Amino acid sequence: MAEKKSAHHDEFMKLHLFKEEYIAKLEAVGIKSPKELAAALEDEDKMKEIHENLKGVGPKTVEHWKEDLKIPAKEDKELEKKEAPKARKVKEPSKKATKKEEKKEAKGKEKDEKKEEEVEIKEEIGYEVKLKPKLSKEMLDALKLRAEIDARRPEFLRQEWHRRKRLQRVKWRKPVGDHSKMRQHYGYRPNVVSIGYGSPKAARYLHPSGFREVMVHNVKDLEKIRPEQEAARVAHPVGMKKRLEIEAKADELGIRILNRSG
């Protein structure tokens, strides 16, 4: 007999990296709908229970769930609660104070004012949500599968890496030698790169966010980019002046830059 799906099964499965196993485990904790899950994500005690019962659910997946469930970030709430900083009361200088002391006090005031202005600017900026690609269901499934494969993929080590330090931080090379036990796939030797360890073709060479990276050297290169599926990566030799021009133009066109200057 097939198992009966819960009423909110489809709503749960829309969440980022959500598995069917989690539905039963959430019900055991007392969470039966996405609304109850949203309330639990804001409660610290409930969060501990979720982390204990749901293996593989870390802080990053929780952040994705909060975005999917449209829960405002803590920073946004704190910004609403915070009031404007109160002006400092400065004591008037005494009549006996010398000119040097008055100058020192004036410099101190300027420094305090500058610090207060910097704090206000930082509070106004807050957290900005990064642009995300518009992906099909097939592509999302491929990215999910790629993450699972990456988690269980072993580390590929060079032949005789344990004997020579210079082989520990170099690119992979195919083992060579007539008597090489690694080439012959002996069980006690490290794993060798093969087709079975590869990720899905659809999700290959994609950025973790889901964008396909495009190298950009100048402002004109941005015109070729499709903002819905591609993101820009500014080339290393580009100077700061040209980089800022590229970033300004990318913001106008709604293109995400993966390596912003600030």
123 vs 170, higher pLDDT: 170
Nearest to 71 by CA among 45, 51, 41: 41
Q: Which amino acid is at 34?
A: P
The mean pLDDT of the chain is 80
d(CA 24, CA 26): 5
Distances (CA, A) of 138 to 135, 143, 203, 229, 239: 8, 9, 10, 14, 39
pLDDT band with cut points at 50, 70 and 90 for residue 60: confident
Average pLDDT of 67-77? Answer: 65
For residue 222, how far is the Cα from the chain centroid? 23
Taken in order 121, 122, 124, 128, is the CA torsion positive or negative? Answer: positive
152 vs 90, higher pLDDT: 152
Instruction: Specify the DSSP element, H or E, that contains 79.
Output: helix 74-81
Average pLDDT of 251-259? Answer: 94
What pLDDT sits at residue 100?
Answer: 67
What pLDDT sits at residue 7?
Answer: 66
d(CA 52, CA 50): 5
25 vs 233, higher pLDDT: 233
Please count the other Cβ atoms lying within 10 Å of the Cβ belonging to residue 19: 14
The yes-or-no verdict on residue 231 having pLDDT over 90 is: yes
Rg (CA), the chain: 28
> What percent of the chain clears pLDDT 70, i.e. is strictly above it?
74
What pLDDT sits at residue 87?
Answer: 58
d(CA 143, CA 132): 14
pLDDT band with cut points at 50, 70 and 90 for residue 185: very high
Average pLDDT of 202-214? Answer: 92
The yes-or-no verdict on residue 2 having pLDDT over 60 is: no
Contact 141, 148 (CB under 8 A): no
pLDDT band with cut points at 50, 70 and 90 for residue 3: low
Contact 157, 190 (CB under 8 A): yes
What pLDDT sits at residue 183?
Answer: 95
Give tens-digit pLDDT for 95-143: 555 666 777 777 777 777 766 666 565 555 555 778 889 999 999 999 9
What pLDDT sits at residue 179?
Answer: 95
Please count the other Cβ atoms lying within 10 Å of the Cβ belonging to residue 70: 7
Q: In the chain, count of helices (H) and strands (E)?
A: 9, 2
